[in-house]
Structure 1
């Protein structure tokens, strides 16, 4: 699978999980905890392969505009993964606060994924050959499996 298809598949999965999480009630604490764990694992695997493999290749192949996109994407990862997600993980799943934080995480992820798909991936298809995207995809799939396995 090429790198962009892999990333789009990840976006779709995480967005679906976040929608399921948003639709839960305060009483569904076990379901919320389970969905949150799945989101955490998939988000970590996704951001890792983007930051370690895809983004550097994109930045290297690009121009100044791509470098700007690269740094913006990193900041969006930081906001979701280092600020909102830890707060959500520390929040009681039976609380109203949980619902609010889950919604904010969902909105951040949706914005980030949509921006990547409309701008970054379009540029990446112009800057990188099919062969390069396929090679990146293979590296990313292998690294993604390692990250997921590290969660046990």
Structure 2
């Protein structure tokens, strides 16, 4: 499966989990935990594998994506710390969902088409296989492991710092 197709499939899964959470027909705790695990694992493979592999194609979109991940992660942490009985729970679900929808729309309409145009099918499939294996590993680790504690540090900050450093080192060598 192509890397972009894998990410789109994961986007649909997250959308489905949001619908379940918003419906109120089931216990929100396990749905929220699954959503947190899916989002944390998805963001990890984008930040650590996909974005570095395609950063030269749409660097402005990649930089914005890191920022969107950081904001979404903060919204996710706030949601996870909120009881489903709290009056703000539904508002926090809606806010996180809207952040994710915006991010998904930009990736699927702007980034993925550019990546598919610039990267050959074989490379996209290799990247997809690697990302699928990494996703399964990250999913097994769980969001508690993947999301840094506190509100001052996000996994997006850590991953984007690594890209900036490699970019700076490359510029210094040139």
Q: How far apart are the structure 2 equivalents of 1:147 and 1:102?
A: 23
* Corresponding residue of 1:124: 115
With structure 2 as the length reference, what TM-score do the two structures score?
0.79
* Corresponding residue of 1:54: 50
Aligned runs of 1:29-108 on 2, under 5 Å? 31-60=27-56, 62=57, 66-81=58-73, 83-108=74-99
With structure 1 as the length reference, what TM-score do the two structures score?
0.90
- Conservation of the 8 A alpha-carbon contact between 1:46 and 1:144: yes
Q: Aligned-pair distance for 1:151?
A: 2.6
Structure 2, unaligned stretches of length 5 or more? 144-174
Q: Which runs of 4+ in 1 moved over 4 A?
A: none
Structure 1 or 2: larger helix share?
Answer: 1
- Conservation of the 8 A alpha-carbon contact between 2:41 and 2:142: no
Secondary structure in 1 matching 2:110 = helix
Q: Aligned-pair distance for 1:77?
A: 0.6
Instruction: Please list the CA deviations of residues 53-96 of structure 1 after superposition, one character each: whole Å capped at 9, or x if unmatched.
Output: 11111113x2xxx1100000011111011x10111111111122
